[in-house]
Amino acid sequence: MEVETYTLHRGTAPLLISLPHDGTALPDEIATRLTSAARRVPDTDWHVSRLYAFARDFGASMIVPKYSRYVVDLNRPPDDISLYPGQNTTGLCPTVEFSGAPVYLAERAPAVEETAQRVETYWRPYHAALIEEIARIKAVHGRVVLWEGHSIRSVVPFLFDGRLPDFNLGTAAGASCSPNLQRRLEAVLAAQKKYTFVVNGRFKGGYVTRHYGDPAHGVDAVQLELAQLNYMDEESFEYLTPLAQQVQALIHVLLGACLEK
């Protein structure tokens, strides 16, 4: 029986929003092997589908996974080669949390064969849908912006020093989108004073941004990593609507810049 691993909303604009770490579900056979802390799936990009829900109103397509990144990380390459050589990171089937704590109980981590099966069951359907939707949008509009929506705790010593900037824009150091689009997005961030930001800092873009971005052929890919304290409580994972609305207002302007020709 085929597993339902994602939902896809098909819009009318040349914009596809991918939220690969929004999922929280854990299959029972995996959940029973996780530590009690890991079963809370703390490394989820909490509430990003809620944060971006407004984008459907102006025609964006949106793809959202059902399952947690602890099942398989949809933003890692299927061969699990590190995207940040020499730096701490987590893998295709993570065995450590962002805190550095183990995800699995002793000797319960997945073997190579299980990892390969998870790729087939959970990873490939999401990426097949991405490929198909990019092609559909490009056939209609002649171009598409693939926007990777992410979020993370503002302080994660295992991954980076100090506090993360509020808005972290990644374009694979300029390789995944056109110079004009990057300039427009940087100008939007520079024009506001409420949030700190960086472009191609610690988070330059994951597998999706780097693999699918092809500006020479009409596919611009951009990743936005948000510091979670700006829209939620990082300890309880509670969504804080008044804060979130302010973040949404700036994201709205950024996505609008993506739709400019």
- pLDDT at site 259: 95
Q: What DSSP string describes 180-196?
A: HHHHHHHHHHHT-SSS-
∠ CA 222-226-231, nearest 5°, is 140
Domain extents in the chain: 6-259
Task: Inform me whether the pLDDT recorded for 65 exceeds 70.
Answer: yes
Region 168-177: mean pLDDT is 98
Q: What DSSP string describes 54-75?
A: GGGGGT-EEEEESB-TTT--TT
Alpha carbon of residue 20 to chain centroid:
5
- pLDDT at site 254: 98
- pLDDT at site 81: 75
* Segment 81-93, tens digit of pLDDT: 756 656 656 789 9
Task: Inform me whether the pLDDT recorded for 230 exceeds 70.
Answer: yes
- pLDDT at site 84: 61
pLDDT tier, 261 (very low <50, low <70, confident <90, very high otherwise): confident
Helices (H), 2-55: 28-31, 48-51
Residue owning tokens 């793809």? 63
Contact 179, 48 (CB under 8 A): no
- pLDDT at site 158: 86
- pLDDT at site 2: 61
For residues 38 and 158, which has the higher predicted lDDT (pLDDT)? Answer: 38
- pLDDT at site 150: 98
Region 64-68: mean pLDDT is 98
The percentage of the chain sitting over the pLDDT mark of 70, rounded to a whole number, equals 96
pLDDT tier, 34 (very low <50, low <70, confident <90, very high otherwise): very high
Region 156-172: mean pLDDT is 94
Please give the backbone phi and psi of residue 167, each rounded to the nearest 5 degrees, phi first: -120, 120
Task: Inform me whether the pLDDT recorded for 1 exceeds 60.
Answer: no
* Segment 100-156, tens digit of pLDDT: 999 999 999 999 999 999 999 999 999 999 999 999 999 999 999 999 999 999 999
Reading the block at residue 44, the tokens are 């989820």
6-259: CATH, from 1.20.120.1770, 2.30.40.10, 3.20.20.60, 3.40.630.40: 3.40.630.40
**Residue 234: burial class (beta carbons within 10 Å; 0-12, 13-18, 19+):** middle
**Beta strands across the sheet bearing 197-199:** 6-9, 61-65, 15-18, 144-152, 219-227, 167-170, 197-199
Region 164-168: mean pLDDT is 98
How do 61-65 and 197-199 pair as beta strands?
A: unpaired
Contact 49, 19 (CB under 8 A): yes
Collapse the DSSP code of 247 into the 3-class scheme (helix H, G, I; strand E, B; otherwise coil) and give the result.
helix
- pLDDT at site 90: 73
Task: Inform me whether the pLDDT recorded for 3 exceeds 80.
Answer: no
pTM (two decimals): 0.95
Contact 92, 76 (CB under 8 A): yes
Terminal C-alpha separation, the chain? 43
